[in-house]
């Protein structure tokens, strides 16, 4: 019986193709946004987790600023070389190294651009710092202790930073000082690093008159220790060395897990905002379905009267109109799935190409099933009132309707 009702519903929808198409647009837009951002968000979260794991799960990061959000915006360093030694002496820490980061004018063939200059050590801590930041030389050679006037460049500096391509052995002017390019870095996945000029840390600090300042410190845990085991001891050691009361720290000690949690929280807020906007679109789509179904009831009043005259029951009339609304919602959900997947794949492709951050779009079977069920229910709920109105029509009144 329900199969016959479904066929009748599909036939009625097909007879009004243009109206039905316009009705489902709101549903399509809402579902498209839901699929695109959920799949991209999950893919981005998986990618970041893989990147963090690749950098090493045994790392601890010390940033300036009293909290993780503060350290993102704060670029002026409050750390120094002595803090590296303090961290290194903490039980459970195998090694520690510092980095320096700032923006300076860089000139190539008369063209000036403001680029990140990244100072890294060239002593025994160089490998630790480079590994923790996914630095790897793809062309040329790495920095040595005597490379005061030599630099590495990110892969995006080669073609995208200046009008002319920058190659190994080319000369750059960094804040008026001539330096020579000796190597090109492989893509790191961080657009800022990939636009950066990497040099000896002392040389970078000299250029900006920053003495022994550091922008952040990386620590590697000793065998048998987990990053969480050394966070509190590092905080305690730095507080003692700086004579800072607990709770008033001007630095943050974070593990890779902390950074992932921060990223997840930020991503969750963004997704919640987007899903809220998508919900408004779905609400508009639901109102559109309701309006279409009311119009359909008015246009088919005599048809309803005939069906009741030949024995159709109220619940059967109710079922037919509810199914029509459900089919409209389900079709809108299906189209939204296709569009959402296509959009998320396109965005992932562009991010992979231009930001060197490979994102795998994830559209799981539960997500597909949930979206289809949700869009179908949206249609059914929107069709309740029109269906009830159709079911309550008296046969005599319906047959007299003009």
Q: Is the pLDDT of residue 13 over 70?
A: no
The DSSP element (H or E) to which 18 belongs, if any, is helix 17-55
40-55 pLDDT per residue, tens: 877 777 776 666 665 5
**CA-to-CA separations, 169 to 52, 140, 156, 186, in angstroms, rounded:** 33, 9, 17, 17
Pairing mode, strands 251-255 and 59-64: antiparallel
Q: How far is the C-alpha of 311 from the C-alpha of 373, rounded, in Å? A: 32
Highest-confidence range of 204-218, 272-286, 310-324, 357-371, by mean pLDDT? Answer: 204-218
93-143 pLDDT per residue, tens: 999 999 999 999 999 999 999 999 999 999 999 999 998 888 999 999 999
- 167 confidence band (pLDDT: 50, 70, 90): very high
233-290 pLDDT per residue, tens: 999 999 999 888 888 888 888 887 777 776 667 777 777 777 777 777 777 777 777 7
pTM of the model as a whole: 0.64
Average pLDDT of the segment spanning 144-167? 92
Q: Is the dihedral of CA 188, 192, 195, 198 positive or negative?
A: negative
Inter-residue contact 126 to 97 (CB < 8 Å): yes
Per the DSSP assignment, residues forming a β-bridge with 253 are 62
Per-domain residue ranges of the chain: 2-52+261-400, 79-249
pLDDT of residue 401: 46
What are the contacts of 38-42 at 24+ separation with CB within 8 A? 38/271, 38/275, 38/367, 39/340, 39/341, 39/344, 39/361, 39/362, 39/363, 39/367, 40/344, 40/347, 40/348, 40/359, 40/361, 41/267, 41/270, 41/271, 42/362
Q: Is the pLDDT of residue 221 over 80?
A: yes
Inter-residue contact 181 to 153 (CB < 8 Å): yes
Which of these, 107, 199, 116, lies nearest to 162 by C-alpha position?
Answer: 107
The dihedral region occupied by 115, where left means phi > 0, alpha psi between -120 and 50, and beta the remainder, is beta
Better-predicted residue by pLDDT, 374 or 164: 164
- State the residue for tokens 């929808």: 13
Q: In degrees, to the nearest 5, what angle opens at C-alpha 316 toward C-alphas 315 and 320?
A: 115
- 27 confidence band (pLDDT: 50, 70, 90): confident
Average pLDDT of the segment spanning 228-232? 91
Q: How far is the C-alpha of 58 from the C-alpha of 92, rounded, in Å? A: 11
301-323 pLDDT per residue, tens: 666 666 767 666 777 777 777 78
pLDDT of residue 99: 94
Q: Is the pLDDT of residue 81 over 80?
A: yes
pLDDT of residue 301: 66
What is the overall mean pLDDT for the chain? 81
Q: How far is the C-alpha of 279 from the C-alpha of 203, rounded, in Å? A: 53
The DSSP element (H or E) to which 120 belongs, if any, is strand 111-120
Q: Is the pLDDT of residue 74 over 80?
A: no
Query: Helices (DSSP H) in 56-154: which residue ranges?
Result: 68-73, 81-88, 126-132
Centre a 10 Å sphere on the Cβ of residue 119 and count the other Cβ atoms it contains: 27
């Amino acid at each position: 019986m329900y199969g016959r009702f479904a066929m009748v519903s599909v036939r009625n929808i097909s007879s009004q193709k243009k109206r039905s198409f316009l009705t489902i647009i709101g549903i399509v837009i809402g579902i498209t946004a839901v699929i695109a951002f959920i799949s991209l968000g999950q893919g981005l979260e998986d990618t970041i987790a893989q990147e963090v794991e690749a950098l090493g799960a045994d790392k601890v990061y010390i940033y300036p600023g009293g909290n993780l959000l503060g350290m993102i915006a704060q670029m002026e360093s409050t750390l120094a070389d002595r803090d590296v030694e303090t961290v290194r002496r903490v039980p459970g820490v195998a090694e520690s190294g510092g980095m320096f980061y700032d923006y300076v004018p860089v000139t190539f063939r008369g063209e000036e651009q403001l680029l990140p200059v990244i100072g890294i050590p060239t002593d025994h801590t160089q490998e630790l710092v480079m590994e923790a930041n996914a630095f790897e030389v793809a062309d040329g050679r790495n920095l040595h202790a005597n490379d005061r006037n030599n630099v590495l460049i990110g892969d995006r500096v080669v073609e995208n930073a200046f009008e002319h391509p920058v190659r190994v052995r080319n000369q750059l002017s960094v804040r008026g000082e001539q330096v020579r390019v000796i190597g090109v870095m492989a893509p790191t996945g961080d657009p800022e690093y990939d636009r950066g000029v990497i040099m000896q840390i002392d040389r970078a600090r000299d250029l900006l008159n920053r003495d022994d300042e550091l922008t952040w410190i990386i620590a590697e845990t000793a065998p048998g220790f987990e990053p969480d085991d050394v966070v509190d001891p590092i905080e305690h050691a730095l507080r003692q060395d700086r004579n800072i009361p607990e709770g008033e720290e001007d630095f943050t000690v974070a593990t890779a897990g902390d950074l992932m949690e921060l990223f997840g929280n930020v991503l969750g807020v963004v997704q919640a905002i987007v899903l809220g906007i998508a919900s408004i679109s779905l609400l508009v789509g639901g109102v559109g379905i309701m309006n279409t179904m009311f119009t359909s009831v008015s246009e088919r009043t005599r048809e309803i009267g005939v069906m009741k005259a030949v024995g159709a029951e109220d619940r059967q009339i109710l079922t037919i109109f509810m199914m029509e609304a459900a089919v409209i919602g389900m079709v809108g959900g299906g189209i939204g799935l296709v569009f959402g997947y296509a959009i998320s794949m396109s965005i992932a492709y562009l991010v992979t190409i231009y930001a060197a951050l490979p994102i795998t779009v994830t559209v799981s079977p539960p997500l597909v099933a949930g979206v289809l069920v949700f869009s179908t229910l949206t249609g059914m709920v929107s069709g309740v009132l029109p269906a009830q109105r159709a079911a309550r029509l008296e046969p005599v009144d319906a047959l007299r309707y003009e």
